[in-house]
Structure 1
Amino acid sequence: MTATEILEKLVSFASVVGTPNHDIVAWIRDYLKAHNVEAAVFMGPEGDRSNLFATIGPADVPGYILSGHMDVVQAEAIEWTTAPFQLRRDGEKLFGRGTTDMKGYLAAALAAVPQLAKAKLKRPIHLAFSYDEEAGCRGVPHLIARLPTLCAAPLGAIIGEPSNMRAVLAHKGKAAARLTVRGRAGHSSRPDLGLNAVHAMASVLNAAIEHAENLTHGPFEQAFEPPYSSLQVGTIAGGKAINIIPDLCTLELEARAISGVNPDSLLAPIRQKAQTLRAAGFEIEWEEVSAYPALALPCESALARLLEDMTGQTPIGAVSYGTEAGLFQAAGVDAIICGPGDIGRAHKPDEFILTSELAACQSFIEALGARCAA
């Protein structure tokens, strides 16, 4: 099958983040088996979605991981020109949800499998396909934890997020949380008898806004845009009617941290502020929604030099979006970002990738295989 044909099949699976992914996992496993490559499938704790790991070549020798996620963000059909989970070709453009982020990379890797399988690799190439990356990299930690039992310590992991096939050395870390404040309902004419959860949440919101402003004053890391850590409240909801004292309010916020800063630490002042509401009788629940560390790969590392040599381009210092790369690095595996497509097309209606981008990625992976066979 060509990369385009594989992509057409992958797009047809509506593997939306947070939903079961058995169908796409089973298809990939069967495809690999048809090329004499055995894939291990590991069910996550959710019980209805899995990671997949496969090795081409000797597993007991250090090699390279090709890492990508199988999930995609939601797609509202009304916003699309055509059905989002049916691949549509218009010249060189291939439209469909996940074509760029990031089933195009998976398709290119799978299209390269026949060539890799014939190459008699001396160093292995591993395929590590995860779930629920779009929910804050929830699936891949379970896969990374198994790596010591699956293969020799890897030389590096190439995370195929869309980067126009130019290597990326760094991204910010992220932590996201959901705060729930519970008060006491009542009639609005007697506010003295209730506990207004929305009013209470206002003090937390103000603390978050003030903290976000303070972060703009540094510390700085000029490779990023913006060059400082950041924090924002993304959603807030509470109340049922104008004449009812609201007994419930929820707030979701996230922090993005430059290298060397723990993103969880950026949320700590907001959590501490929320805890002070207990003294007034409110119940507080703080739930971590997602978290992943920053990526910071030195430009002089062997993996960075390899990617620069193979792509013929100097790696980009940093990008604003986050990936699973930081989790691989935190586990002791050098990681770098390099994949087909442009991040500017991701998460939008009529997302697309170019056939030339698929071909370039497949050629890159096959060239990596040639090096591993030399």
Structure 2
Amino acid sequence: MSPTASPDADAQDLDPERLLARLVAIDSVNPALVPGGAGEGAIADFCARWLTGHGFEVHRLERRPGRPSLVAIARGAGGGRSLMLNGHLDTVGLAGYDGDPLSPRRDDGRMHGRGTFDMKGGLAAMMVAAARAAAGGRVRGDVLLACVADEEHGSFGTEEVLESFTADAAIVTEPSHLQVTLAHKGFAWFEVEIAGRAAHGSRPDLGVDAIAKAGHFLVALEDLGARLAAGPAHPLLGTGTVHASLIQGGEELSTYPARCRVWLERRTVPGESAAAVEAELTAVLDRLAAAVPGFRYRLTPGLSREPFEADQEWEIVRTLTRHAEAVLGHPPAVRAEPFWTDAALLDRAGIPCLLFGVDGEGAHAADEWVDLASLHRLTEVLTATITDFCA
């Protein structure tokens, strides 16, 4: 059965440009990034009303109060494959934006405003595309829209969705410049604590300078980065990388520091795991402990996310690529991203997926915009893909 629009859900509601403007006007700053941020509550309320008005069965998931995700389902007639479209509700902060970030502004074929590109454009396109496809009455499989919280920080929204919902395939509508994105890097965060011994600055016979010891590690970390850059490369993503992100040590000028902490990030490519990175770092630190007198350390793993790589022969990849070529008038470019997305979580859950989204610029920047022609093309590609895959 296809969704039936409510009487007040007029044809203009299926204009992705108009829907995008309404989404951008809702503050949905991720409070994990910006203390006091609005969170996803208001935008989830709006999307739930819109989707319910277009006949979707809406489920609200809110394990963390004020941080809801939605799963909206258009039930198919039966006998078809199911498809999940995933997009995040949250944005980064508004401070430093050039102009009013919550007042969408159209100019020369673009719409400016926080989230237009990353990724309320993709959110609007997938909502309209799913409503159009389901209303056409040709969908036999279920269409699921996962409108998720917290992608900009820890991605607990998609994790919560995947505990209760699945599909035969998925499309993540992160911005991709209308190019088919089949891979992205992962990351692993670590804290390294270098131990010293506190003593008065006049007593070098007693003190051990943890900051100076940490200097040996920073040099070794730079060397590791050079070795990674010279090593085997992924055909789309290149090599993994490593960098020191934060450093903290010392108490006062006249005291030998008892400890120095270094936080680092290791970006990973397919074939690299957080466990392998931990072993790699342990080997570096153990060599220093053997070579540098008094070098003692503690390595603590933090958050890690796996890299992602799609198979070009997956049916969802072939179906979307075919319809993208029809809409664009040429085969879409294939690309990979250096940043992480929720696609890796879908893949780990056994759902074949890829990324495909709007063109534009300014993710996390002072001016953010989406190319409106790409918004309409994305909606067209998604509508055709849903209709074909779920038929």
Q: Give the TM-score normalised by the residue count of structure 1.
A: 0.85
Letter in 2 for 1:256: R
Q: Look up the match of 1:306.
A: 319
Relative to structure 1, the CA distance from residue 93 to residue 282 in structure 2 (aligned partners, 3 Å threshold; closer, same or farther) is same
Cα RMSD, aligned residues only: 2.9
Give the distance between the partners of 2:203 and 2:49, measured in 1 at CA. 65
Q: Report if aligned partners of 1:124, 1:372 keep a CA contact under 8 Å in 2.
A: no
1:329·1:335 contact (CA, 8 Å) conserved in 2? yes
Q: CA 1:325–1:114 in 2, change beyond 3 Å: closer, same or farther?
A: closer
Counterpart of 2:375 in structure 1 is 358
| Aligned counterpart in structure 2 of residue 128 of structure 1, from 146, 159, 174 | 146
Cα distance in 1 for residues equivalent to 2:295 and 2:268: 33
1:33-52 correspondence to structure 2 within 5 Å: 33-44=52-63, 46-52=64-70
SS of the residue 2:181 aligns to: coil
Query: In structure 1, which of residues 345, 370, 373 is the aligned counterpart of residue 387 of structure 2?
Result: 370
| Deviation larger for 331-340 or 196-205 | 196-205
Separation of aligned partners in 2, 1:250 and 1:8: 45
**Correspondence 1:290-301 to 2 at 5 A:** 291-301=304-314
The CA distance in 2 between the partners of 1:327 and 1:180, in whole Å, is: 30
TM-superposed deviation, 1:182: 6.5
| Aligned-residue offset at 1:17 | 5.6
8 Å Cα contact 1:204/1:270 also seen in 2? no
> CA shift at 1:109, angstroms?
1.8
In the alignment, is the contact (CA less than 8 A) between 2:187 and 2:305 conserved in 1?
yes
Point out the more displaced range, 21-30 or 194-203. 194-203
1:137 aligns with 2:155: yes
Relative distance call for 1:168 and 1:304 in structure 2 (3 A) is same
Change (3 A) 1:10 1:189: farther
In the other structure, the counterpart of 2:365 is: 348
Query: What one-letter code is carried by the residue in structure 2 that aligns with 1:367?
Result: A
Aligned to 2:344: 326
Aligned equivalents of 1:53, 1:147: Cα separation in 2 = 8
- Tell me the residue number matched to 2:5: none
Counterpart code for 1:57: R
Letter in 1 for 2:175: P
- The yes-or-no answer on 1:103 pairing with 2:128 is no
Q: How far apart are residue 65 of structure 1 and its match?
A: 1.1
CA contact (8 A) 1:341 1:353 kept: yes
Q: Map 1:60-75 to 2 at 5 A.
A: 62-75=81-94
How far did 1:124 drift? 1.9
Aligned to 2:3: none
Of the three residues 133, 145, 152, the one matched with 1:116 is 133
- The answer for unaligned runs of 5 or more in structure 2 is 1-12, 326-330
- Is 1:21 matched up with 2:34? no
The answer for the alignment partner of 2:247 in structure 1 is 236
> How far apart are residue 358 of structure 1 and its match?
1.5
In structure 1, runs of 5+ residues without a counterpart are: 149-153
180-189 or 364-373, which deviates more? 180-189
Given that 1:179 and 1:286 are in contact with CA atoms closer than 8 Å, whether structure 2 keeps it comes out as yes
SS in structure 2 of the partner of residue 168 of structure 1: strand
2:159, 2:153 → 1: CA distance? 13
CA distance in 2, matches of 1:264, 1:48: 33
- Name which of 195, 202, 212 aligns with 2:225: 212
Check whether the contact 2:141–2:390 (CA below 8 A) recurs between aligned residues.
yes
Indicate if the aligned counterparts of 1:17 and 1:72 stay in contact, CA closer than 8 A.
no
Deviations 1:268-293 (A, max 9, x none): 3325656888x96978462413x222
Q: Select 2:271's aligned residue among 243, 252, 260.
A: 260
Report the AA paired with residue 229 of structure 1.
G
Give the superposition deviation at 1:127. 0.7
Provide the C-alpha distance between the structure 2 equivalents of 1:22 and 1:285, rounded to a whole number of angstroms: 38
Write the deviation string for residues 18-60 of structure 1: whole angstroms up to 9, x where unpaired.
253222222212221222212212224x544232211112397
Displacement of 1:238 in angstroms is 3.0
- Equivalence for 2:9: none
Cα gap change, 1:202/1:304 in structure 2, threshold over 3 Å: closer, same or farther? same
| 1:199 alignment counterpart | 212
Structure 1 residue aligned with 2:50: 31
CA contact (8 A) 1:17 1:135 kept: no
Cα distance change on mapping 1:27 and 1:182 into 2, 3 Å: farther
1:306 deviates by 0.8
208 and 10 in structure 1: CA distance in 2 versus 1, 3 angstrom threshold: same
Distance in 1 of aligned mates of 2:260 and 2:277: 22
Q: Output the amino acid matched with 2:268.
A: A
Q: Which residue of 1 aligns with 2:190?
A: 177
Cα distance in 1 for residues equivalent to 2:207 and 2:230: 40
Give the secondary-structure state (helix, strand or coil) at the position aligned to 1:139. Answer: helix
